[in-house]
Amino acid sequence: MTFLALENPISNNFLVLGAFAALGFIYLVVVPLLLYYWMNNRWHCMGKIERLGVYGLVFLFFPGLILFSPFLNLRMEGQGEG
């Protein structure tokens, strides 16, 4: 009985690289976009505990959030001109 690691090490390397790329994509793209969506919908009506949790997630996913920060505007819309 042989192990898979001893049979074909090249396919295992691609499997590891693929898993690493998938986790990196989730960390840098998917979760930050979901977090931005959540913040954009709930920013002005969050409770204290929810805001604390969001701040913790912002700290955790900061590298991905900084990539998308130019595209998000959390300011209030205002009443127009005049």
- Residue range(s) defining the domain that contains residue 31: 27-71
Condensed to tens digits (0 to 9), the pLDDT of residues 17-60 reads 999 999 999 999 999 999 999 988 888 899 999 999 999 999 99
User: Averaged over 64-77, what is the pLDDT?
Assistant: 79
- Domain membership of residue 51 (yes or no) is yes
- Domain membership of residue 77 (yes or no) is no
Return all residues near 36 (Cβ < 8 A) that are at least 6 apart. 65, 68, 72
Query: What pLDDT does 44 receive?
Result: 83
Total of domains in the chain = 1
Quick one: 27 exposed, middle or buried, by C-beta within 10 A (0-12, 13-18, 19+)?
Answer: middle
- Domain membership of residue 58 (yes or no) is yes
At residue 80, does pLDDT exceed 80?
Answer: no
Query: What pLDDT does 19 receive?
Result: 93
DSSP string, 16-72: HHHHHHHHHHIIIIIHHHHHHHHHHHHGGG--HHHHHHHHHHHHHTHHHHHHHGGG-
